[in-house]
Every structure is written in structure tokens, then in C-alpha cells.
Structure 1
Amino acid sequence: MRLLRRSRRRPSPRSRRWTAASAAAVVLAATAVALPPTAGAAVPTGFTDTLAIGGLSSPTAVSFAADGRVFIGEKSGLIKVYDSLADTTPTTFADLRPQTQDFWDRGLLGLALDPQFPTRPYVYALYTYDAVPGGTHPRWGDQCPTPPGATDQGCVVTARVSKLTMGAGGTMTAEQPLITDWCQQYPSHSIGTVAFGPDGALYVGGGDGASFNFTDYGQVGNPCADPPSPAGTNLTAPTARGGALRSQSVRRPSGEPVTLDGTIIRIDPDTGAGLPGNPFASSTDANARRVIAYGMRNQFRFGFRPGTEELWAGDVGWNTWEEINRVADVNDATAENFGWPCYEGGGRQGGYDGANLDLCESLYTGAGQTAPHYTYNHSAKVVASDPCPTGGSSISGIAFESTSNYPAAYDGALFFADSSRGCIWAMQTTNGLPDPAKLVPFVTGVNVPVQVTTGPGGDLFYIALGAGQLRRVSYTGANQAPTAVATATPQSGAAPLTVQFSGTGSTDPDPGDVLGYAWDLDGDGQYDDSTSATPTHTYTTQATVTVGLRVTDQAGASGTATVTVTVGAPVAQDPVPVIDTPTAPLNWTVGQTVPFTGHATDPQDGALPASALSWRLSIQHCAANGTCHEHVVQNWSGIASGSFVAPDHEYPSYLELSLTATDSSGRSVTTTRRLDPRTVQLTFATNPSGLQLSVGGTAQATPFTRTVIVGSNNSISAPSPQPGPLFFRYRFANWSDGGAQTHNVVAPATATTYQANFSLCAC
């Protein structure tokens, strides 16, 4: 089956059918992400950004069925199905939580429907499988104990793409694992997208599963058994072919195993086998037969340009670059190599280049990489005028405009998202091809966008993980959105409390527009309780309820407002959570066990039990300019005390520990404590001075100093040979700490200098 672009008639925005039942609430999940709430997301003039489905728990993926059903995957492993976008009571289609590891960036991350659904009643899920290579679940659960430590030795898992069968009752009746592979040592660069191509084949992508802290070539235990040595052996440069180099595994010597890490594969959706037209179809290695593109770090999201055989993938970079890569024709029997980890952003990757690894050196002197279609630097704006923060960056969505009523400037545009910056941009086209010179901001201020896709009406939909929402961007043209005004009389009192609401103060700037009303009177996040302009509601239990009103005009533009109703105790008497330990002055080091304790009181309930408490530990990963993005490390429920082991992470970064208390009426309050690391300065020098050294992912002329977290693991390399002063060339001799030319150092507690000594050479 081929997805061909249809000719389109662009209807007037006012020809859209309007129903008040399509309104939904803005529900913000409790999150520490330092981004504006998605409810405040901004779109270009003439567009509206509205809630499609809310009240989700860490949603990661959505897929729309032709019959109107909506499937949404949550990171924990749950897959929910809604009868339509207006449905407020989803059915759990599948519960894959027992076999899914939901930890850091791992979990259920990809979802796709068979193109002939429901005739072929199959749903495809891509998730982190909680088992070591060759093992069965459960292995770790939704955690990683120390040892081995999430960022030390790593809790090794695999990933799985499965074909799920929907039975007559609308729920999963069978799971057929198609592939279980993708060895992942560290808790990021996991799997991402599963999608059908225009040729009816199933496409799947996975990251390298390697460290995000140091140049990783398999030197920490080699649990994935990468060559040339068995599992449990620390690999060494230059012959190492593990870690991030798994992304280059199709280039290993003949007879060595090919992995799926860092690749995009094209497979039979019924068997998981590679297709006959694939680039390595004649290989004796089953994984090689599946691969159509490789050399990627974390191609979390990809999609197909309508009417073509082109696959476009967003590849999450390390410290400097984000990429959009293009496979020009998935059926041309050519495997594109996008170069990671030897290349990043179009140039050599400093850390891996400096390690003088054979797999990279042969690529530098050979055919090289397939250059990215577009790159953007972490320190630079995507569009000079956009309000999106710079610093941390993680490209997290790829989709193409198709069959929408958007203005002609958006015809065929490529939309891409960045979860760290909280923005979505449109790359408009020149002669039909997305043009990096024609970039415009499209949605800004999003609370962690992790997928963009097209849906009903050709509109752009996106998943806002941090807000627990699926949202829709529609075009209403010159029509202006109404302003909602909600009042409640009375706003407080003892139960039972009957409240008269009114939305009659709402207005629309367009003369003659008639407003429809949709109320969320019970505070459940769904606007499904009344369509009256002046409803009444009686509250029988003590609670603080945020009541929502959504007003919508006949062109589909809408506005929302809220009003708070307090039944019983006033808002000022919410529960009070207190983190007793650790105290704010704590300066942790990597690997340190940190105990935590807390308690909570409530004016009505008194001292709350441990069952009323929940905790969250997250890392705020920051850029030099101070902007940060969050990685959730672990959650705990129903405990008043516990402990965690401080993880390794690049600096600048810090930990946040949050305690949430929930009283008997359902009111919740969260308090958060920032925990900064203990840092140390490491100085790097060469003899003679001025030569290049690589530390982590960057190379620099000496001398220079890096601030790192005490106990962190740092890779250092002395590129050799290299040019030096007066046009002489120098060969590496030794390091002052006695380490190999490329090795890792654990940051000591006191400032230390590492010097690489070189000698003159005729080389």
C-alpha cells in the first residue's frame, strides 16, 4: 500500500462542523520541568492549539485508526484506546507493564496500527523489554539498583517490537514478539519509533544504548559481548567495537555479529524478518538483513514524506548538534551511514575521533558519512526570533503536513519538535523539498513534546508528555478565538454545596459568532458535564475543585477559563509535606548513597500516613547558559523514607527530590528540594603545550580546565599523531597518570592535572 498525496480543496475555516462535545479540559500533570504549561503554548495567527485528550500518565505515542479510534501508549507499558477524540472513558487495550522497564528514558515509546486496521486487527508496540540479552522478564523492574548502578556498570536490558492482536472485545488477546534485540547498557538512547512505510513494510528505530557521559566504546564491562572480546572484558582502543560503535556494527569484520543499535530496520510485519530488497538481504546475519540505515545515536522519531519513498529521522545529539537525516529512497538497496559516533552534525565527533578507533579511522579515510539534511547547534536558536530556550536540545518529533486546510505556505512542510526546548518548528518547502532556509516557529511553550503526527482533518497533533496530553493544532483563518469567563456563586461553603455557574460573560471579537459551552464541573479534566451557559452543580464531599469552562465558536476556535470551588476546608488548609532529609547543603558525589525522609500533616487529617506520600527523583541537565531539562530517574509511592544512589551525569547538572502529600479529600501539595553536586576542576595539559586532547565528547587545545562532578567517569584521549608548533608532528608517548592513550578517569575529590606527553616523529 502506498500513501499518495491527495489533491486538496482548502475549505473556508467557517465551513468546519462545530460541536461543543469536542471540547476538552487542560489538565497539567505534576512535573518539575522548567517550561511554561502547555495550556499557554503559542501558535501563529489564525491557528488554535486545543486539548484533544487529557488526563494521561506520561504519554509517549499516539496512532489514529481510520474508524475514528485513537490509541495512546503510556511510558509505563499501558496502551489505551478511545472510541473517538470525544471519548472520555478509554478502554485499556493492552497492559505490557509486567515486561516493560519504565526507567529514565526507557519504556513503551512506539506505537503503530496495521494500515488495514481493523480488517487486520494488529497493533504494533515498541518497548524496553525488562530482560538481559537472551533472558526473560522480569530482571530489574522499574529501577536500577547499585550495584550495578544506572550510570556506572548499567542495568542491561533489551527492547522488543511486538504484534498485538485485538480481539472482538476491543482488547489485546495475543502478543507475538517479532524481534527482541537492541542491547542497552545505559538508561538513555533507547528505542523510539515503529511505523509503517508507504510500501507496507514495518520500520523500527533504536538508539545506541551507550553512555551519555563519556566516549563509550565498550570499556566498562562490555555486557553486550561486543567484539573483539567476550562479555565481562573491558574493551580497549583502537580495536574496540562496542558501546556507541554498535551503531557501526554492519561494518564489523565478516563473521562478527550485527546489532540493531543505532539503526533503522525494514521488516515483514508478520514475521519480523528483513525484506528481500534490503541492502544486506544476502547476508547470513539475520540482523544485517533487516538494516536499511545506520550510524545514528538516538533516532527517536522518524516519518515518511507523503508521496515519496523518503524516510526522515531526527537524531538526538550529544553536547553540540541535533540532526535531521534523510534516507532518499527506502527501496534503493543502499544503506545510508549517518556516521555516529565517528561523525556528529556533519563533522568529526571530537571524543571518538580523539580515541583513534579503527572503525572510525577507516570511515574517515573511506567513503565517510551521509551528511545530514539539517543540523542545529545546542547554543543557537533554530529561528532567530523564536522564544525557545537554547542550551539543552533533544529533537523529539518528525511529521509532514498532508491534506490539511493549513495556509499554502505549509504545503508539505516538515514539522519537528525539541523536547528540551519545548518547541515545534515548521520547515517549509522549496520545490516540494523541506528547505532549512525556510524555518518558522509553529508551537512554542510546550511541556515536553515527544511526538508530532498528522491526524483527523490533516491537523498536526502532538504528545505533551509533561502535561499528560494529546493536543491538536487547527487552522481557523481570520476567525478570532473567543474569550472565556467563568463565575461561580458561591465559591465556597460546607457540603452539600450547590453552586450556580455562569459563562455568559464570555465574548467573541467576531460579530455574529455564536458560542457553545462545555463545562468540567467535577474537575476530572474532561469537559463533559454540561453544555449549558448557566449550569448548577451540587458537591457532596469535601474537596477543592478546579472547574473549567471551554467556549467554542462555530469555526472551531475556542477559549478556556477556570474557577475554583472549595467545599469544606479552605485552600489554605491543604496538606503540608516536609522533606526532613537530605538537607539543602548536601553536596553529593557520584555513587554516594543518599537517605531521604519526610512527613506531612493536614489540618483535617492530622499526621498523614506513609501511604499518603510519594517521591520523585530527577536530574536537571543544564547548559552553560543556565537552561535545564529534566530526566526523571525514579518514583516511589507509599513510603516515608528510603534512599537512592547519586547517578553519574555530565556537569552542569543537579538533582531534584520531590515529596507529594495527598490528604483524604484528594488535595495534593508537592515540595521540592534542589541537591547540588560536589564538583572538582580537572586541568588537561600536553608537553609540548598547545596540542589537542579530547575529554568526553569535545576536543580542545591545551591547557584547559573542566569542572566535573566528584566520582564521575570521564573519557580522555590523546590523538596521535598530530601537528604541533612550527609545523612539527608529534606522537603520543604517555599520560602522567600512567593510563593508555585513550582511557577513563574517575574524578577525584581534589583538583588534579592530567598531562599527555608527546615526542617528535617523522610521521
Structure 2
Amino acid sequence: MRTRPSLLIAVALAAGALTVPAATVASATVPTGFTDTAVISGLTSPTNAVFAPDGRVFVSEKSGLVKTFDSIADTTATVTADLRTQTQDYWDRGLLGMTLDPQYPTRPYLYVLYTYDAVPGGTAPRWGDTCPTPPGATDNGCVVTGRLSRLTVDANGVATGGEQVLLTDWCQQYPSHSVGTVTFGPDGALYVGGGDGASFNFADWGQRGNPCADPPGAAGTNLSPPTARGGALRSQSVRRPTGEPVSLNGAIARINPDTGAPMPGSPFAGNPNTNAKRIVAYGFRNEFRFAFRPGTGELWAGDVGWDTWEEINRIPDATDAVAENFGWPCYEGAARQPGYDGANLDVCESLYGTGQTAPYYTYNHGASVASGDGCPTGGSSVSGIAFETTSDYPASYDGALFFSDSSRGCIWAMRRGANGQPDPTNITPFVTGVNVPVQVLTGPGGDLFYVALGAGQLRRVSYTGASNQPPTASATATPQSGPAPLTVRFSGAGSTDPEGGALTYAWDLDGDGAFDDSTVVNPTYTYVSQASVPVRLRVTDPAGLSATTTVTVTIGNPPSNSPVVTIDDPAVTTEWSVGQTIPFSGRAADAQDGTLPASAYRWQLTLQHCTSSTNCHAHNVQSWTGVTSGSFVAPDHEYPSFLDLSLTATDSTGNATTSIVRLNPRTVTLTFQSSPSRARLVVGGVEQATPFTRTVIVGSNNSISAPSPQNLTLGLRFRFTNWSDGGAQSHNITAPATAATYRANFQLSLGITRPSR
């Protein structure tokens, strides 16, 4: 996606190889009087958190794992469910949505929404957590579906009895715009959404094999304008002629939480198609996160844009029988989307006559959300929606709408206006510098919590004001080094609280990252093996504010340095084109262990999508563990972008080092001309007057269109006749290895076939 929920930390690296220690968590910034604290850490790509009435916290991880913590103070998780076999964890696919029955534990049900690793009508696993070439992730796509299931959770927080599958739908050709949110409405119905499953590189109407069998052709039949109704146009499928299939892509469905059946009173109750009866809103690209405004039937959805606009959309009453159409892909923001408008698609042409439901709020990819917020512009992915309700925040936040952007790493507050609704003219930064926020929600005390996928954490934003400040943690170790076995006396007695409150203590004495080894002020611990152990202390004041500190204990004579990691292949000079197979290999060693075994290795391939030389956001493509070598196929993506390949090696004492090599693409300049000149042509999703050039990656797939008719020379109307490459008025081109020119030819038209552009 131009801007999906970007599921990795935004980063810009200089060309060449980089070696860094194990990743650390950057501190976020909050307004004066607030604190931002990690309450659950050590997670692996978390995507959702759900608070239960009994204090439990359910957390989903992108891989398909669901974990339960007894409370936000619990440091040891129970595995509730393991759905990794049936979940495809690839690019932006995975276990992305989760909610708890509002009557829990009377109704002990947990609902999960994930990318189901199976083709339509098939069974999992089909691909695993990868996509081979062919078909190629961004070429013809590894086709999967989405699944909503209900799990029954016992008194210990463990799912029993397997899945009850409620829905399997959401055909997805390309590796983003998958499923998203599942939540309960005030009417007791379950609301569930998923993206269009289409290409994020070109205007997609089903021209690449049409594997989802969208009309008017069968699966395997390339669709063409103006009649094509596939690709991103699945978001408009409820408008298809009676008898044609209706998908849930790009829509929000309202269903019975026990059966998955449509609820009574549907906007499309008279439609014979069951999916149509489920739909209450549609025309989304990727409505990754949505939420009800407390005490109302209003449903607010963040929709991730393509070239220009992020949207926040408001459904006035999702429980009624009125459907909202937010217009994608015919519209992006409040305007027609050029890539689809230029193709003269029947689905869009008929919508332009009636209009869309306008977005409640939009922000441009190239502009700040709030002046001076310090958040990067360019890449954008609206990724969280929540409302303030019962917090002890200052009154100016009462009823505020909080929304996040995972690419920019920020959360903002849209404060309530005089009419009681969130006011788009009154937006202020709330948390900045977040390591990939993918969910915002309210929790204990009414505080705002957020899931930071990049940091592997659930974090809490609390208000302290002038009345309470966080404590200061202090830890000592006596002795701090010595031969094994080594008995060490620790003390946290130097920790203080500004208000003089009684502190509670939690120690991580064994260095495993969990504060579960002691709760006394002065614990003792004996170490029996040579190691360098980072011992951590967390102190918490009576108001729940915490602080941590670390003291390192050295047992024996461990190596002074972490592993030395070397990526032998590919070289930093490697330049790639789309579809190219790139081998990789590496090695690691340290003074203690010598050459590390393959089990110590973890590789990560990341695509960095950039909007400038210093502003990039990342998309996790694929990872490999337990191997010293392998290969991958270079994916398709718009330019500017590049690939990062990292190798992390962890030695026997837990020390880790990461080496990263940046791989730049081979690019080519494409020139677009027209006869007569100054015609407006569309490349991808952007329209521009000729002549112009575009820099793209060699081998990339690009959609081009010549809108017709157009007023050109002397204001006369001209109609498209042909492209210089012989392609149709709207078609795709594969970028060649050398510069090329594409010319659209027009002739003077004596008739009017379409309103002037």
C-alpha cells in the first residue's frame, strides 16, 4: 500500500551496511502533565489488546498467537490460542483484529479476525508465511482470504473446543489491505471489516489474472475497462447487478455474533445475496481501525489512502437501515481518484452521478496533521480510532477523538467542538515518536492505551498534572562481578517517589525481560553460569506510575563484545529489479561461542517506502530463522523505495547484534507525451499534463490511462485514438531496463461522448 497500517518502525538508513546492537525502544513524547508508560513488554509484533472486566488483558500477535495476562501488572503470559498454522503472517497480513464478548465471562467468547492462509474455498495452510515466485507477491499475488472465528475461553484464559468459524470471505490478491477490526456495537451485533485486497502499486480493476473471480469474467480472465468490476472495485461490489457475487472487501459488515448471519434491519435486506444483507457501509480502501463513539450508534472509521489523502469517516448510525458509500476507488478523499477516473469504469461513472458520502476529516500525505506537531509527513497510514470517556484527563480532552498514524508514529487528539462532535479544526498532538502504533483504545481508569507493534509493547498514557509525578528507580548490586557461582545482593532502597508514596518493587533478576523474580526491596540471587546479565528494577507508585532502571552483573569472564555479524551476500553494491532472485548468506561469531550455529540467526527483509531522502516508513516483507543462507525475490513497489536485509545473531548469553545491508533498486525514466501536447494522462494514481517523466523501478508494473475526451488545442475537444505501444486506453506496462517514451494520440472529436474533464 502507498500507506497501509505500516507494520514496522519508520526508519531511513544511509546506503551501505550497518551493524547495530539489539533494538532498543525509543521514548515517546506526551503533553506536559502526562506520562507514557509500558505496561506489557516483550511482545512479538502485537496487533490488538482487549481489557476484560475481571482485569485480564488479551493480546494478539500478528503471527496468530493470542496471549492472556492476568492484569496489566502480570509479566508472564498464558497462551490462549495458537492460530499460526492457519494465519498467514506475511507483509501486512496476519492476525489483525480481536474483541471480547461484552457479556464476558457469562459469555466466554473471544472473537479473532485474521488472514486465512487459503484460497477461496480452500484449506490452510496454502502458502505459509511467504509468497513464492511465481506467482509473486506483487506480480500475480498469492491469493488468500480472511476469516472471523469465535473462541471459547475457559477460567484459566485458554481457548477450548477449537474455532467456531463465523465468516470466511475477503479474497485478497495482494499482500496488504487485508482484514482489520472486529468490535461489538451498542445493539449487540458484531461489526467486522476488511480492505479491498487489491494492488497498492497500480490502479487495479482485475487486470492481473482476476483470481478472485470478479465479474464480468471468470477466474484467470483479465478484466478490462469499462466493464471491469474486480480489484479495488470489490469495495463497490454491493452495487453489482443482481445475481453477481458480493464480497465483504472494503466494507463494514453487521452480523450475528453467534452465527455470522446478517442481522435484521440491514440496509440491503431486500437483496437476495447474503453478503449484501451484512453490509452497513462500503467504499473503503483499508478501514483498518474503526470504533463506536460511546453512548451512540456512531461508527468512526479510519481509511488508509493511496496517493494523497487519509480519511476519517463517520457513519451517523451503523445500527440503522441506511448504508454509507465512501466512494473508494472512484474517490480518494473528497475528489475523484485519477487512476480509476481516467479508466472510464462503468462502476465509477455511475457513482459520479450520485456522489459519495464525504469524509468527516481528511489529511494530506504531504502536510502536517497539526501545525508544529513534529510528526514526519509523506508516508501516512491512519491506524487507530478511540474516544475519551471516563479518564481523569483535563476537561479539554472530554469526548475527544484520538487517532493514530503508524507510518508517522503519532497519535493526535481531535477535541470536541461546540456542536458536541470532534472538531477537525482543533487537533493537537498527544503522543509523538511512537514505535508503530497499530491500535488505540481506552482501558483501566479511562486512560488511553496503545499497541506499539514496533516496540512489542502495550503502553498507557496517564495524567499526573501537578499532583503526582512518576517515581525514580535506583538499583545497586553487591558484588557487581565475580566468578561463578556468584551470589549478589541487590537493593532498590535508593528509589524515591516525589510525593513520598509507598513504592512497590518488581525485579528481573535473570535478565529474561520479565519482572517476575522478586517483589522485595533487597533481593538476593545466585548466578551459576558465566554471563553478563542486565538486571532490571521497576518501581511503581500508589497512582500506578512506574519507572525502571538497569544494573549489569558480570559472572565469570564473558566476552566484552556482542557477536560480530557479517552479511557476505548480497553486497552493498547490489542493485535489483522487480522479480529478480537475490541470494543471501551471512555468518556470526564471538569470543565465547566461536562461530554461532544457524539456530542463532534471524533474517528480516524490509521494504522501505520513502517520500524523501530522509523520510521512509517500512513494510515487513519476510523473515527467516535458523538459516545461514537463502534467497528472496525482489518485490514490486513504487519509487522511491529500497530494501533492507538484516541479520540478527544472538549468542549463548543473550547478547545480540544486527547487521543491515541496504539494497537500492535499478531505476528507469519513463517519458509520457501526447499528440496534441498538454493532454492529461494518468500513471498509477496520479494525473498530469504532458510532457512529463516518471522514475520507476525496472520491472515494476504501472497502470496508465488516457482520459477521453479532453479539451486541448484552442479549447477544442479531442478523443483518444491509440497509445504508441499499442495498448488499450487503460492498460498496464512493465518498466523496461532502459528509458522509454509512451505517447497517447488524440484526434479532433465532433461529438460529445463524455463531459469535459
Q: TM-score under structure 2 normalisation?
A: 0.94
Moved more, 336-345 or 523-532: 523-532
Summarize the Cα distance change of 1:591–1:505 in structure 2 as closer, same or farther, 3 Å threshold. same
Match of 2:187 among 174, 182, 199: 199
Paired residue for 1:82?
69
- Residues 1:98 and 2:85 aligned together: yes
Higher mean alpha-carbon deviation, 475-484 vs 730-739, is at 475-484
Residue number in structure 2 paired with 1:707: 695
Q: 1:72 aligns with which of 26, 51, 59?
A: 59
Q: 1:467: Cα distance to partner?
A: 0.9
Contact 2:337 2:685 in 1 (8 A): yes
Match of 2:638 in 1: 650
Match of 1:242 in 2: 230
Query: What is the correspondence of 1:23-422 to structure 2 with a 5 Å cutoff?
Result: 33-34=10-11, 38-167=25-154, 169-172=156-159, 173-365=161-353, 367-422=354-409
Equivalent residue, structure 1, for 2:15 = none
Task: Give distance in 2, aligned partners of 1:721 and 1:629.
Answer: 38
Q: 3-state DSSP class of the match of 1:134?
A: coil
Cα shift at 1:378: 0.9
Query: 1:571: how far off?
Result: 5.6
Distance in 2 of aligned mates of 1:89 and 1:531: 15
**1:38–1:464: 8 Å Cα contact kept in structure 2?**
no
User: How far apart, CA to CA, are the structure 1 residues paired with 2:158 and 2:29?
Assistant: 37
> How many Å apart are 1:569 and its aligned residue?
4.0
Q: Would you say how many aligned residue pairs link Structure 1 and Structure 2? A: 732
Q: Is the 8 A contact 2:8 2:617 kept in 1?
A: no
Q: Any idea what SS the aligned residue of 2:197 has? A: coil
Instruction: Decide whether aligned partners of structure 1 residues 550 and 571 sit closer, same or farther in structure 2, where only a CA change above 3 A counts.
Output: farther
Separation in structure 1 between the aligned mates of residue 749 and residue 594 of structure 2, nearest angstrom? 77
The alignment's C-alpha RMSD in Å is 1.8
SS at match of 1:359: helix
Q: Deviations over 1:708-759 (max 9, x none)?
A: 1000000000010122232212111111111100000000000111111111
Render the CA deviation track for 1:526-559: whole Å, top value 9, x for unaligned.
3333344444433222223222233333333333
SS of equivalent residue, structure 1 residue 402: coil
Q: Per-residue deviation at 1:514?
A: 4.9
Give, as a single letter, the amino acid of the residue that structure 2 aligns with 1:574.
S
Matched residue type, 2:591: P
Cα displacement (A) at 1:31: 7.2
Cα shift readout 1:189-236 (whole Å, capped 9, x = no counterpart): 000000000110000000000000000000000000001111101101
Residue 259 of structure 1 deviates from its aligned partner by 0.6
Counterpart amino acid of residue 321 in structure 1: W
SS for the counterpart of 1:462 is: strand
Distance 1:493 1:748 in 2: 64
Q: 1:240 to 1:652 in 2, by over 3 A?
A: same
Per mean C-alpha deviation after superposition, the further-off stretch among 41-50 and 339-348 is: 41-50
Secondary structure of the structure 1 residue equivalent to 2:371 = coil
CA offset at residue 664 of structure 1?
Answer: 2.1
Question: CA 1:697–1:494 in 2, change beyond 3 Å: closer, same or farther?
Answer: farther
* Cα offset, 1:506, TM superposition: 4.2
The change in CA–CA distance for 1:115 and 1:511 in structure 2 (over 3 A counts) is closer
**Distance (whole Å) between structure 1 residues aligned to residue 480 and residue 691 of structure 2:** 66
- Aligned equivalents of 1:384, 1:132: Cα separation in 2: 45
Identity level (%): 71
- Look up the equivalent residue of 1:481 and give its one-letter code: P
Whole-angstrom distance in 2 between the partners of 1:67 and 1:484:
30
Distance apart, 1:487 and its partner CA: 3.8
Alpha-carbon deviation of 1:363?
0.9
Deviates more, 1:621-630 or 1:573-582: 621-630
Q: Which residue in the other structure is 1:718 paired with?
A: 706
Unaligned runs of 5+ in 1: 1-29
Report the residue type matching 1:484 in the other structure: A
In structure 1, what residue type is equivalent to 2:619? H
**Whole-angstrom distance in 2 between the partners of 1:729 and 1:566:** 81
Matched, 1:484 2:473: yes
2:543 and 2:184 map into 1 onto residues whose CA distance is 33
Write the distance in 1 (CA, Å) between the matches of 2:671 and 2:188: 55
2:370 corresponds to which letter in structure 1?
A: V
Pick from 403, 406, 426 the counterpart of residue 438 of structure 1: 426
Larger displacement relative to structure 2 (315-324 or 494-503): 494-503
1:499 alignment partner, one of 488, 500, 504: 488
Residues 170, 703 of structure 1: alpha-carbon distance in 2 compared, 3 angstrom cutoff = same
1:271-312 alpha-carbon deviations (Å, 9 max, x no partner): 111111110012110100000000000000000001111000
The whole-number CA distance in structure 2 between the counterparts of 1:504 and 1:571 is 31
Question: 2:8 touches 2:436 (CA, 8 Å); kept in 1?
Answer: no
In the other structure, the counterpart of 1:423 is 410
Q: Given that residues 144 and 155 in structure 1 are in contact (C-alpha distance below 8 angstroms), is that contact kept between their aligned partners in structure 2?
A: yes
Distance 1:163 1:439, change over 3 A: same
SS at structure 2 position matched to 1:98: coil
Change (3 A) 1:362 1:499: same
CA deviation map 1:678-717 (0-9, x unaligned) = 1111111111111111000111111111111000000000
Letter of the 2:39 partner, please give it.
Answer: A
8 Å Cα contact 2:608/2:619 also seen in 1: yes
Q: What is the rounded CA distance, in whole Å, between the counterparts of 1:287 and 1:111 in structure 2?
A: 21
* Pairwise CA distance, 1:336: 0.3
Paired residue for 2:726? 738
- Per-residue CA shift, 1:396-428, capped at 9, x if unaligned? 100111111111111111111111111111111
SS in 2 for 1:106: coil
CA distance in 1, matches of 2:99, 2:587: 43
Contact 2:530 2:558 in 1 (8 A): no
Mapped partners of 1:726, 1:567: distance in 2? 85
For the pair 1:757 / 2:745, whether they are aligned, the reply is yes
Shift of 1:614: 1.7
Shift of 1:371: 0.5
- Determine the C-alpha separation between the residues in 1 that align with 2:489 and 2:507: 12
1:679 is aligned, of 667, 680, 698, to 667
Which residue is equivalent to 2:16? none
Question: Structure 1 length normalisation: TM-score?
Answer: 0.93
Q: Which residue does the alignment assign to 2:577? A: 589
Change (3 A) 1:655 1:201: same
Cα distance in 1 for residues equivalent to 2:24 and 2:412: 18
Assess, with a 3 A threshold, how the Cα gap between structure 1 residues 596 and 617 changes in structure 2: closer, same or farther. Answer: same
